[in-house]
Structure 1
Amino acid sequence: MQQVARAAARAVAGGRTTFVRCHSGYNRSGLVVVQALVELGHDVDAAIRLVQEKRSPWALNNAIFRDYLSTGLDVAYRLTGLQS
Structure 2
Amino acid sequence: MRPVVGNGRRVLVRCHSGYNRSGLVVAQALVHLGYSVEDAIFLVRFRRSKWALNNSLFVDYLTTGLDVARLLTGLEA
TM-score (normalised: structure 1): 0.82
What is the root-mean-square deviation in Å for CA atoms of aligned residues?
Answer: 1.5
* In the alignment, structure 1 residue 61 sits paired with structure 2 residue 48: no
* In the alignment, structure 1 residue 17 sits paired with structure 2 residue 10: yes
Unmatched tracts of structure 2, length 5 or more: none
What percent of counterpart residues are identical? 67
What is the alpha-carbon distance in structure 1 between the residues aligned to residue 42 and residue 28 of structure 2?
13
More helix by share: 1
Report deviation, 1:14: 2.3
Which letter maps to 1:81?
G
TM-score (normalised: structure 2): 0.89
Give matches, 1:22-61, under 5 Å: 22-61=15-54
1:57-84 CA distance string (max 9 Å, x none): 01111000000100000000100118xx
Number of paired residues? Answer: 75
Moved over 3 A (4+): none
1:18-64 CA distance string (max 9 Å, x none): 11011111100000000000110110011000000000001111000
